[in-house]
A and B are shown apart, each in its own frame.
Chain A
């Protein structure tokens, strides 16, 4: 469904991605693991069109999306819940969700999307008229995911949704990600929390300083001694 082929990307002179190829199959959950600074967020930026690949291709449903502006990528059906949540602090919860639906053409069905989001995250319904900046970290993460869902994405990109959250909340969030996926949304998950991410994923990639070094079924990666040592050992 979503394909990257030999993608290179730069920040000025910093060569952040050095020929990344990966595939996200329709209906699956794919996890991208990697240490800090490996380039995980950079991959998401390239997919979303915020950073242009200097070479290589990015295709979605068999057409090239590498030249599209970020807002066009959203219209294609690829939506991010970005690193650090990045909710709009001075908009209310409901307004944040509205922004998520900005590109929707089917205005009539938006109402039902609120309902879907509130079903996943009931707390957001309670807080709907509160300024988003006053939410707790976990609630903000839920809002970020909910906001992305409002766009009715075909592929949901999640950048470290578990970062900085208490273990219990992390567990919840991973469960909901699984549910979202079960309802038909493809998920591309960037994580450092390898154990839990792999537990819900179908396939996984490991990124090291801009290169994919390991890939395979999530269940196999979990057993891979190299990965075990690097990403699972400490936990």
Chain B
């Protein structure tokens, strides 16, 4: 029974159970497309969380990596007729190399400068998507076929869901072990204080690069999966809007949690759907965007650990309150003001 307490085992069981749901229930195709989108966003969000939540590095340009993954997948399976799985791996690896380069840039920058640089990076890459028509076909966009794995064509959404779930599981497990290892602790140390981390012997060089590379890899894989699910893409999909949504997923779901990334992905995909069903809200154009913006701000102000940890946070707050009453007796409430 101890095995069940193991997080990795839990993830695996959960993934298999969820993967089978669409086979058992009769769910329509468009709903399943959304479910697939949740998986895809979950993948990029996990990678982004390694970067922002664990390593404390912000990026406003990660949509570019996902777009890159999508275009690579389209070109490799389409023009070069590479097998789907190989192409998918490459659509993660090539962005990863570019992520490494961005990581090198990040070595010299911190905080807001990094945000500005990555914002510029995102805009520049999106512009490349628009102009490099040989690769992207410009605004006319590119198409891709259903994925074929060992001769089997995946055309049903149920099957795509299973495929996505397997890939998500692998990436979750990889992230889980990566973050549980020395690397995870080094990243957190770096996030909390680069100086202190360096003093403890953490190589900023190594870990910033790891964080950028991993996040770009996850984003590229998400892009590849997206390409074969939707089977069409064009440059407008890969701009600042997606980068902001990505930020929202991770912040709302929970910084520095794998589960939170998945919850955040669900939030971003599903909120517009729920809104559609409420007539009054549906009549307000782009209500989902407004709501997401508010939600992100609300969460970062009041629940900085995200939805995934709201429960824990409330518990801690209650405990603290009780303790502080006990150890002060008559002194009156401390007024939490401290410089910092």
Binding site for B on A (CB under 8 A): 8, 10-13, 15, 51-52, 54-55
Contact = CB atoms under 8 A, between A and B. Distances in A.
B334 to A, nearest CB: 4
Interface string B88-121: 0000000000000000000000000000000000
A55 B331 contact: yes
B331 A12 contact: no
A11 B336 CA distance: 6
Contacts of A51: 337
Interface string B301-340: 0000000000000000000000010011001111111100
Given A51-B337, A52-B337, A13 B331 contact: no
Contact of B332 (A8, A11, A12, A13): A8
Contact of B331 (A11, A15, A52): A15
Contacts of B332: 8, 54-55
Contacts of B337: 11, 51-52
Contacts of A54: 331-335
A12 B333 contact: no
Contacts of B324: 13
B338 A11 contact: yes
Interface residues of B, number: 11
Interface of B: 324, 327-328, 331-338
Contacts of A12: 334, 336, 338
Contacts of B333: 54
Given A13-B327, A54-B331, A55-B331, 12 more contacts: A11-B337, A11-B338, A12-B336, A12-B338, A15-B328, A15-B331, A51-B337, A52-B335, A52-B337, A54-B332, A54-B335, A55-B332
A113 B328 CA distance: 47
Q: Which 4 A-B pairs have the closest CB atoms?
A: A10-B334, A54-B332, A55-B332, A11-B338
9 contacts: A10-B335, A12-B338, A13-B324, A13-B327, A15-B331, A54-B332, A54-B333, A54-B334, A55-B332
A52 B336 CA distance: 10
Contacts of B335: 10, 52, 54
Contacts of A8: 331-332
Nearest to A10: B334
Contacts of B336: 12
Nearest to A54: B332
A6 B333 CA distance: 15
A10 B338 CA distance: 8
Contacts of A13: 324, 327, 334
A11 B335 CA distance: 8
Contacts of B328: 15
A51 B339 CA distance: 9
A10 B337 CA distance: 8
Contacts of B331: 8, 10, 15, 54-55
A15 B328 CA distance: 9
A189 B80 CA distance: 81
A51 B331 CA distance: 16
Nearest to B331: A8
Contacts of A52: 335, 337
A8 B334 CA distance: 9
Nearest to A52: B335
A113 B336 CA distance: 39
A176 B324 CA distance: 46
A181 B328 CA distance: 40
A158 B324 CA distance: 34
A15 B335 CA distance: 11
A231 to B, nearest CB: 27
Contacts of A15: 328, 331
Contacts of A11: 337-338
A129 to B, nearest CB: 32
Contacts of B338: 11-12
A12, A51, A52, most chain B CB atoms within 10 A: A12
Nearest to B323: A13
A70 to B, nearest CB: 12
A4 to B, nearest CB: 16
B324 to A, nearest CB: 7
A168 B333 CA distance: 46
A160 B212 CA distance: 48
A11 B331 CA distance: 13
A144 to B, nearest CB: 19
A141 to B, nearest CB: 22
A8 B336 CA distance: 14
A10, A51, A55, most chain B CB atoms within 10 A: A10
A11, A15, A55, most chain B CB atoms within 10 A: A11
Nearest to B337: A51
A13 B327 CA distance: 9
